Amino acid sequence: MGRPPAPQAVVLSVGSELLAGETVDTNAAFLGGRLRDLGVDLTEVRQLPDDRAVLAAAFRQAGGAADIVLVTGGLGPTHDDLTREGLADALGEKLAADPVLEDELRERFGRLGSMPATNLRQAMRIPSADALPNPIGSAPGWWLDRGTEAVIALMPGVPSEMRRMFDEQVAPRLAGRLGPVPLHVRTLKTFGIGESAVAELLGPLLEEPGDGVISGIYARDDGVHLRFTTREDPAAVDAAAARVRQVMGDRLWGEDGDDLAFVALTRFAAAGCATVASWEADTGGALLAALSAATPTGPAASYVGGVLDSGGAPAAPAADGCVQLSLLPEDSRGRSRVRVAVSGRVAVPREELRIHGSGPQRLRRAAFAALDHVRRSLPPG
């Protein structure tokens, strides 16, 4: 007998600034990933204005279409923060001051100075909602579980506050309430080959990856990612990944949470380098940023810093190894190129590589091209 269907969720992002293009909705992307990890299908993301009637209608529609409704934004203290009012209207409940929330607000602002009277709006609650604590902000969240209807969680729009509230308050409640079906995921990451070329190489493997397996192909700055998911037997995604490895070979640089900068640092370590530096020209510090942010998952060389230059001889902090990267002018056909070399205890001949993209994306891809050059040039150990 097959597994039960996964719960379905809708995300409502509230704020007229989202619709005006003044703010990018990073909250929805975060929630999509977290819901996937919980085994919940995110079926819709809606951006809504600060309009009480529009919000009430959206709550009614989402509550009838999904098992879970996650809402971000509109919980501030000003007149245009109307998420609480919109939900109260949708449910036919009245807002009333919560004395506990009011005391918590007064205590919070007492440590900072006087509290504006408008902040008391954040202490309003409807009877069926439980307050969710917000240790790093003034806006408490709401959790509504009336048993037979969609579960609703209201969270702040500030990304740091929303993320902490979701991880600490909402996710545990969702897991306990719905018992989500686990989603098994395997991601394989390539570099130096385009999305269409990957699709052509893999062909039927992407179209028919296996029973119960869904495949996806995504272009990223660090290459093309292949994603296989299933709610059935996890061995099925492992089998699909194994077939991809056979076809793609050295074009694959990592899987799942692997980080290309860290992969490059592990290659330096395998070559006997305890420390690595960088020198780059005309890249805006993209290589320095990538290496500084490398996510450690095992032993690797330590990155000691880099130098940004626009001319002259490469010079960098003293280290066992150094990655040298120059972004070259576009050629006559408008194609971008980078010049990459490795020096120090290990030396790799200079090479020119083609990259794609424009603006900041072009700079990031230049950095990833340099890191992949290190990966391909230095043995894994």
- Per-residue pLDDT of the chain in tens (381 residues, 90 and over written 9): 355 677 899 999 999 999 998 988 999 999 998 888 888 889 999 999 999 999 999 999 999 999 999 999 999 888 899 999 999 999 999 999 998 988 888 887 777 677 777 788 888 899 999 999 998 888 899 999 987 689 999 999 999 999 999 999 999 999 887 765 667 889 999 998 889 999 999 988 888 887 788 888 988 899 999 999 888 888 999 999 999 999 999 999 999 989 999 999 999 999 999 999 999 998 999 999 999 998 777 889 999 999 988 666 556 678 899 999 998 887 767 678 899 999 888 888 889 998 887 788 889 999 999 999 999 999 886
Confidence (pLDDT) at 1: 39
**Rounded CA separation 55/81 (Å):** 11
Judge contact between 183 and 216, C-beta under 8 A: no
- For residue 7, the one-letter residue type is P
Residue 316, pLDDT score: 66
In this prediction, residue 252 carries a pLDDT of 94
Which residues contact residue 52 at a Cβ distance below 8 angstroms, ignoring those fewer than 6 apart? Answer: 82, 85, 86, 89
Contacts of 115 (CB under 8 A, 6+ apart): 105, 106, 108, 109
